[in-house]
Amino acid sequence: MDEHIAMPENVKITYKTGDYVGEVIDRDERRVLVKVLAVMKHPTQGDLHSSYDPDAGMFHERRALSYTEKVWVPINAVQPYKGTVPDYKESLGAAFELEWEKIDRLKRWSELCLEKLESLRKDYGK
């Protein structure tokens, strides 16, 4: 983030796999304090170090940051945001639905893979 960006300034941030729009309310030489105003991408569930592993030792439930929650983020995780800030509840709902659809699609893909592999298992067993 450029040093010339004045406060308050709307920014887009990435925080623990979620993307948000917020307002800069403080900063220092390494980081920026942002007040969350909207959710652009819902955080990813599970163990980040073992992606798509349902048997990981710690399968995390990650909630989106709350409306007006304040969070410190590294300067390199902050980008200026131009445009209208979406309504928080509407943006949370849309981000949640996109995440749900992504996981549902992955689930349906894996189920079809298992069906095809079962067919191959029978064929290979001949």
What's phi and psi for 90, nearest 5 deg? -65, -40
Q: 56 in a domain, yes or no?
A: yes
Q: Is 18 within a domain?
A: yes
Q: CATH no. for residue 44?
A: 2.30.30.430
Beta bridge pairs of residue 35:
23, 70
Digit-by-digit pLDDT tens for the chain (126 residues) are 555 555 569 999 999 999 999 999 999 999 999 999 999 999 999 887 887 788 888 888 999 999 999 999 999 999 999 999 999 999 999 999 999 999 999 999 999 999 999 999 999 986
pTM equals 0.85
Instruction: Note down the domain range covering 86.
Output: 10-124
Indicate the number of domains in the chain.
1
Within a domain: 117: yes
C-alpha R_g of the chain: 20
CB 45 within 8 A of CB 89: no
| 2 within domain boundaries | no
Q: Which residues pair with 99 in a beta bridge?
A: none
